[in-house]
């Protein structure tokens, strides 16, 4: 249970000694997803939290729900990600084609 292509990066404790099999495939995929989505981004997440909390202390964010926090962090969007918007803005190229 190591990162593909990197025998020295173990995804679980003693991962180099554990062979991925059908019985532990779910555990491996979960560990792989955690590595790519959490661990590789942790420095950026910590830096963002520290910087953001200097402007707006995190303990004050408790009064907002997740949608309101998204607006504070990302701004308000005047569009919705739907099929029509994607079809209008994505142009297939390089051997790919649109099927919608």
What domain range is 65 assigned to? 1-100
Q: What is the mean pLDDT of the chain?
A: 88
Binning pLDDT at 50, 70 and 90, where does residue 98 land?
Answer: low
For the ranges 22-26, 56-60, 63-67, 92-96, which has the lowest average pLDDT?
A: 92-96
Strand-pairing partners, residue 10, are 2
Residue carrying the six token digits 């910590």: 46
Q: Is the pLDDT of residue 61 over 90?
A: no
Both tokens assigned to 84: 């029509």
Its pTM stands at 0.54
Q: How many domains does the chain have?
A: 1
Contacts of 51 (CB under 8 A, 6+ apart): none
């Amino acid at each position: 249970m190591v990162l593909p292509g990197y025998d020295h990066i173990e995804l679980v404790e003693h991962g180099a000694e554990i062979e991925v099999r059908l019985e532990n495939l779910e555990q491996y995929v979960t560990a792989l997803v955690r590595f790519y989505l959490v661990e590789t981004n942790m420095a950026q997440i910590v830096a963002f939290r520290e910087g953001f909390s200097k402007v707006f202390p995190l303990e004050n964010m408790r009064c907002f729900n997740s949608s309101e926090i998204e607006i504070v962090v990302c701004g308000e969007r005047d569009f919705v990600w739907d099929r029509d918007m994607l079809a209008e803005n994505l142009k297939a190229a390089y051997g790919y084609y649109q099927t919608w």
